[in-house]
Amino acid sequence: MSLADELAATRIELQRLQRLFRSAFSHQFQFMAILSPQGHVVDYNEQFAPGARLPRQEVVGQLFWETAWWRDHPQIVEAWPLRLQAAAQSDAPVVYHDMFTSPDGEPRWAEAAVHALRDEQGRPEGFVVQATDTTERRRAEALREAVEQRLHDAQTLHAIGTLAGGIAHDFNNILGAIRGNLVLALDSLPADHAARPPLAQIERASLRGRSLVRQILEFSRKEVGVLHLQPLQPLVEEAVSLLRPTLAPGVRLQTRLDAAAVWARVNASQIHQVLVNLCTNAWQALPKAGGEITVGLERLADGKVHLWVADDGAGMDAETQRRIFEPFFTTKPVDAGTGLGMSVVHGIVTAHGGTVEVDSAPGRGTTVHVHLPSAQGEAEAGGADPEDPQAELGAGRHVLYLDDDEVMATIAGQLLQRGGYRVTTHVDSDEALAALRLPDHGIDAVVTDFNMPGRNGLDIVRMLDDLAPGVPVVLTSGYIDDRLRAAAARLGVTRLLNKEDLREELCRTVDAALRVADDGR
């Protein structure tokens, strides 16, 4: 082969390699640019350029940081000369992270690496810039972190709720003893006795304590209550009508309710509490001059009920929103709130099988979205709950009351006696069971505490199937959750009573249990 032929073949091979390099360079999955030692663009691939597609003549020959890509990013313009200096002094690529604005105005992120190209003496004769769009990766990481944070928050709330529920249980026993003795003391004093006013103050304080315990139990999801099938519009309208007179003159409270009935299975008093808490928070977020609060209700196509409360107040920053459901967290002044309002909302909504979300930003108000399971199909099929009649059955019935707390047993016994019952109280389960083993025990109903050493209340119920079949049972506890209700129901016990309600509800609950038993005989 002649020299001319060899040169021609070499030229063809070089052209092939150039085409191959150009194709590979142009189709890189990341942006790539070759810069001169001074930073001028020698070449670049257009497919993943960092901004709008520019004519090549506006890019090639220009200083990389003076191209139109970075016109609105002065911090990047200032940084690139220093980056080239750092790359010239390093054998490894120098990596940077930048945030820039895309042509459509959206923020985007990129990871850039600068590597010096060196001659045989090791002197920089140019630079290679490689950049990868990391926007989607950053968004995925942010989403993952948000999910992990929500999981952590949920676990924290669960742990605090478990602790709070246990404390509330013990506190309920204390309150029950205080309030029970107050009833007995007040009933034994003449109307003009000097001790009545201070005793009445103690009773009011115990009622406040009971209210606080209920909020803690609602937050901890230990006390769900009975759920009834009902339309939600009347609940919303009632809550709004009660709230309106309490608002400042400049506050406008309006509703946006679906015209058609929106049905759900709810505990009416707890949903009322949710609305009161949300509207109160909305009101307190408004400026002194007033503002607008909107309460909305609609049925969604996905089988959910959407209840929301919106205000045009100050709004919340991200940190406040992150902590909004923490118990005792508040942005209000001291003595202006307990910090339990939103925790209670979270507990109630979760107990109803729903979710609660907050949409807010400083200066643009807040909207709290509550989503509950819809019971529209059940309502349309005619599944509305019947009324629960509460007819008293008269006096003279014999009730066995079992509680390992002697003070509670004594108080309950006296309350039942004043209701016209014959009562036998026990603080030891063995003694109670021995009394029930007598063939002529004459016991018409059993009231037993759930949380006792040795045998618990459910153990007593199981033994009653053999000892006293057909005798109705009322189960009492410092707190009652869904699991306890379900376990009791499996044993045929449907009357459960919170100890804090003994004064108001004990006789009525025993009457109801006896009535059901009599109807079944």
447-455 average pLDDT score: 90
Average pLDDT over residues 271-277: 88
User: Quick one: pLDDT at residue 163?
Assistant: 64
CB atoms within 10 A of CB 424: 17
For residues 107-115, give the mean pLDDT.
Answer: 88
* 335 has a pLDDT exceeding 50: no
Position 388 pLDDT exceeds 50: no
Per-residue confidence (pLDDT) for residue 394, from 0 to 100? 45
The Cα–Cα gap between 363 and 326 comes to: 23
Q: Please give the full DSSP string across 254-293, using - where no structure is assigned.
A: EEEE-SS--EEEE-HHHHHHHHHHHHHHHHHHS-TT-EEE
Furthest CA-CA distance within the chain: 134
Please check the confidence at residue 217 and state whether its pLDDT lies above 70: no
Does residue 8 lie within any of the structural domains? Answer: no
Residue 302 counted as domain residue: yes
Q: What is the mean pLDDT of residues 350-356?
A: 89
pLDDT at position 427:
93
In this structure, are 420 and 316 located in the same domain?
no
Q: Check whether 433 has a pLDDT greater than 50.
A: yes
**Span 7-32, average pLDDT:** 77
On whether both 361 and 240 belong to a single domain, the answer is: yes
In which band, very low, low, confident or very high, does the pLDDT at 184 lie, cut at 50, 70 and 90? confident
Both tokens of residue 518? Answer: 């009599």
Q: Which of 179, 195, 219 is the last residue of a domain?
A: 219
| Nearest one of 398, 427, 395 to 410, comparing CA atoms | 427
354/403 same-domain check: no
Q: Is residue 2 part of a domain?
A: no
* Structural domain contains residue 129: yes
- Asked if residue 391 is part of any domain, the answer here is no
In a shared domain, residues 357 and 428: no
Q: In this predicted model, which residue has the larger pLDDT, 379 or 51? A: 379
The mean pLDDT of the chain is: 82
Report the alpha-carbon angle 98-103-105, nearest 5. Answer: 80
293 lies in a domain?
yes
pLDDT at 32: 86
- Per-residue confidence (pLDDT) for residue 293, from 0 to 100: 95
Residue-number span of the structural domain to which 49 is assigned:
27-133
Confidence tier at 218 by pLDDT (50, 70, 90): low
Lowest average pLDDT, out of 60-64, 133-137, 139-143, 166-170, goes to: 166-170
Residue 18 within a domain: no
Q: Does residue 388 fall inside a structural domain?
A: no
Q: Quote the pTM value.
A: 0.44
